[in-house]
Amino acid sequence: MRSTWVGYLLWIPPLGLLGLHRFYCGRVWSGVLWLLTGGLVGIGWLVDVFLVPSMVRGANLIDQVGRHEALLTCPRIPYGAAAPFAEPPHRVIYCVGCGSAMQVPVAHGGRGFRCPSCGQAFIAPALAVNGP
């Protein structure tokens, strides 16, 4: 779990001008750009003072999704013709506002949901189906 405080410590010059706070948040390509241009000649580095919390929060959300990757399409109960009254498979999605996790049915991609924690409305992404 990344910390905002560590992100701000890495933002302080000269480390921030070299993009270390961006590497810390998993933004490798923009970190290389900061390294080569000195934080876009200091202007991008100044803008990053406001972006560090959201970069850390985004990196932590990506880590959560990685840890819960096995749950994304794992059915809780068998579903189909053999068990017509069983629950459909669920997956875990995360709110982009507060980061709380919730389960939604796999077949409900594209439907609107509301986060139970913060109340933000969003549309659940559809799963890509790999065909033969």
Task: Give the domain ranges of the chain.
Answer: 4-67, 71-123
Q: Which residues of the chain have pLDDT under 50?
A: 69-79, 130-132
* pLDDT score recorded for residue 64: 73
47-76: b (≥16 Cβ within 10 Å) or e? ebeebbeebbbbbbeeeeeeeeeeeeeeee
CB 60 within 8 A of CB 101: no
* pLDDT score recorded for residue 132: 44
* pLDDT score recorded for residue 42: 93
CB 23 within 8 A of CB 35: no
* pLDDT score recorded for residue 101: 80
* pLDDT score recorded for residue 102: 80
In whole angstroms, give the CA distance from residue 61 to residue 67: 10
Enter the DSSP assignment of 126.
Answer: P
* pLDDT score recorded for residue 93: 80
